[in-house]
Amino acid sequence: METTFTPLAGLVGGALIGLASVMLLLGNGRIAGVSGILGGSLFGPRAELGWRLAFLLGLPLGAWLVQQLAPGAMGFAITPQPALLIAGGLLVGFGTQLGGGCTSGHGICGLARGSPRSLVATLTFIATGAATVFVVRHVLGAA
């Protein structure tokens, strides 16, 4: 599998994520951690449900909009196999509980606030991702 280096797309995407995080923090006083936002929408106060659902719905709707405006921009496809999607979702949910938050909460907001706990969590996320790519590509021989 060939990976194309796209620094401009990464820069624009990172800037938009940062801008959204700052807007949520300044506008609502909340951290943009997706797992916390999801958990709060299920178990939090009803008064916060509106902004939480808007945030969560914006994630797939934003991806859908990009796909409509620039069909080849994403460069990857998500599996249509329901079992893999469910397994992936459960593993992500388990990981966010184990790590005390998700990559967005720790990696974007936590690091920006200088949280040592978020630094350790983010380094763990990155190391685990790198090890997984190595095993899948070089040990298992998959694309």
The stretches of 1-143 forming alpha helices (DSSP H) are 7-28, 34-43, 49-69, 82-99, 103, 111-112, 116-134
CA–chain centroid gap for 11, Å, is 16
Asked whether 105 and 31 are in contact (CB, 8 A), the reply is yes
Q: Can you give the pLDDT of all 143 residues of the chain as single tens digits? A: 566 777 888 888 889 888 988 998 899 888 888 888 888 898 889 999 999 999 999 988 988 898 889 887 776 777 788 898 889 888 888 888 887 888 888 888 888 889 999 999 999 989 998 999 899 889 988 76
Give the residue extent of every domain in the chain. 7-139
Asked whether 96 and 102 are in contact (CB, 8 A), the reply is yes
- In eight-state DSSP terms, residue 110 is I
- Residue where the block lists tokens 């902004």: 51
Measured between its terminal Cα atoms, the distance across the chain in Å is 5
Please tell me the distance from the alpha carbon of residue 52 to that of residue 59, in angstroms, as a whole number: 11
